[in-house]
Amino acid sequence: HAELEATLAANKTITGHFSLPDTGRALVAYTAAGIRCDHESVRMEDALAKMRLGMYAQFREGSAWHDLKETARSITEHRIDTRLATLVSDDTHPHTLIEQGH
């Protein structure tokens, strides 16, 4: 807890790994702890719930994860503020960057 408090006191963003397929109480508790962004959304519902709670939903696409098509539906199918949606590459291998770019 002290680490989270120090991060918040320094006006820094706490990032996390909320990989549970729970968009209810567990996610609310997670965001209540001050965690503001997460790159573990694999379903449209995950990204949508996080953004509705004021959390940055990071849409990832990389060598190991291909979630962008699914998570982008949270924007294309719902009226949601896109300022809370970010693109990230996760687990991108060097050969992927060389062959396909970033």
Q: How many domains does the chain have?
A: 1
Cα 18 to its chain centre, rounded Å, is 8
**CA–CA dist 23, 100 (Å, integer):** 33
The tally of CA atoms less than 13 A away on the side-chain side of residue 24 is 1
What digits encode the pLDDT tens for the residues 70-89? Answer: 999 999 999 888 999 998 87
Residue 40: give its domain's CATH number. 3.20.20.140
What digits encode the pLDDT tens for the residues 33-63? Answer: 889 998 889 999 999 999 999 999 999 887 7
pTM over 0.95: no
Structural domain of 85: 2-100
